[in-house]
Amino acid sequence: MPTESGPSCPITYPGFVFRTLRQDGHHAEALLAGTGLTAEAFDDGKARIEYQVLGRLMHNAVALTGDPHLSLRLAQRFDAQYIGLPAFAAMSAPSFVEGLRVMQRFFSLIFSAIEFTLPEEDAPQCRDEVAICLRSTAALENAGFGANISALIGSANLLNRMLRTHSVVCRAETRARQPDGWETIAIDIGFPISFECNEDRLFFPQALLSQPLPGADPINHPHLLALCEDLVTSIGSDETPAKRVLRFLEEGDNLSRSLGETAAALGYSERGLRRQLEMAGTSFRRLVDEIRQRRAQELLGRSSHPISLIAQDLVRYAIEFLPELQEMDRHDPSRVPRRGCPPKNGGQK
């Protein structure tokens, strides 16, 4: 069965890769070698697999096909019908911009390691173009095989499906380097891609935003949105912005970083990260306080440790969680060691 000890993704896209290659004549045993998966694992629509395992699956597939651009060709074949509920909710929206907002809210249900971000309404924009930004986490990029470019191609296909056309995207930019032999597949992409840019973005005409969607369904759309909300609640996401911030702040001395520094390190604008956290019902300040509270409780709970070790840790982190220690002192003074008055059993091993 799939495991979830590391960053993981829904089974949707890995299942598409596996089934497509099986239809192309490749044996399941060879595709799944070293992954710990069985063919039956892809029958569970609620399953998740680690990105490391997805990387192994793609490695096997490239070795079997001899095609170094396999992930890009597969992305071209990926259709919105494989996505399920989030895509249906987006396609049933009244207009293209409303459908894009649905994708921004629920894209993590499809690709949990990619953040699908629309420009802020008051952000400066080119008069004729709008850009969607796709921000991928390290977990996805470490899977390799052109993940950034594949995400752009697959997302462009989704936009085409929403408007039932073949030419929504007019150009794209990616942080990735141009793959060797790019000219052999570029002709099939449908839009030009510029490499080694600052972000991964898809550009399309601004006039499309107000376009009514052919699949607009005012009756079922609210129900589909509610189902997406329920799904988010039931399965959660291991790559939400809040969890990325928590992981970053817990590394090394990052807890002293500002919101702006944290946003830059994670590939956001400061305003964009603040908005993402607000949408998740939290804030940067709250996440920082959460870590400080946890560290304070851990140190104060080390009753079996010598007072000298506790003191060293307190000095090291004093600035970080002094407010939390003071708050604990206010509610329960006995929990906080006093100068010249070590806690009971202090210094004993």
pLDDT digits (tens, 9 = 90+) for 168-212: 999 999 988 999 889 888 988 989 999 999 889 999 999 999 999
Number of domains in the chain: 4
Run of H or E including 133: strand 129-136
What is residue 222's predicted lDDT score, i.e. its pLDDT? Answer: 96
Query: Do 103 and 209 belong to one domain?
Result: yes
Q: Residue 340 domain-assigned?
A: no
Distances 209 to 118, 144, 168, 228 between C-alpha atoms, Å:
11, 33, 11, 23
Q: Which of 198, 231, 264 is the last residue of a domain?
A: 231
Q: Note the maximum CA span of the chain.
A: 76
What is residue 326's predicted lDDT score, i.e. its pLDDT? Answer: 57
134 by DSSP, 3-state: which?
A: strand
What is residue 329's predicted lDDT score, i.e. its pLDDT? Answer: 54
Q: Residue 346 domain-assigned?
A: no
What is residue 308's predicted lDDT score, i.e. its pLDDT? Answer: 60
Is residue 232 within 8 Å of residue 197, measured between CB atoms? Answer: no
Q: Which residue carries 């074949």 as its tokens?
A: 77
Give per-residue pLDDT as tens, 94-147.
Answer: 999 999 999 998 887 877 778 888 876 645 556 689 999 998 765 565 555 678
Q: Which residue carries 């420009």 as its tokens?
A: 119
Query: Do 216 and 257 belong to one domain?
Result: no
What is residue 346's predicted lDDT score, i.e. its pLDDT? Answer: 39
What is residue 125's predicted lDDT score, i.e. its pLDDT? Answer: 58
Query: Do 80 and 51 belong to one domain?
Result: no
Distances 245 to 214, 240, 274, 315 between C-alpha atoms, Å:
38, 9, 11, 25
Low-confidence ranges of the chain (pLDDT < 70): 1-7, 81, 120-127, 137-145, 235-240, 267, 296-349
What is residue 1's predicted lDDT score, i.e. its pLDDT? Answer: 43
Query: Do 217 and 132 belong to one domain?
Result: yes
- Cβ contacts of 73 within 8 Å, gap of 6 or more: 67, 185, 188
61 by DSSP, 3-state: which?
A: helix
What is residue 60's predicted lDDT score, i.e. its pLDDT? Answer: 94
Query: Do 197 and 103 belong to one domain?
Result: yes
Note down the domain range covering 14: 1-66
Strand pairing class (193-194; 171-173): parallel
What is residue 231's predicted lDDT score, i.e. its pLDDT? Answer: 81
Query: Do 15 and 138 belong to one domain?
Result: no
Query: Do 91 and 151 belong to one domain?
Result: yes
Q: Residue 165 domain-assigned?
A: yes
Query: Do 319 and 264 belong to one domain?
Result: no
| CA dihedral over 174, 178, 179, 182, signed as positive or negative | positive
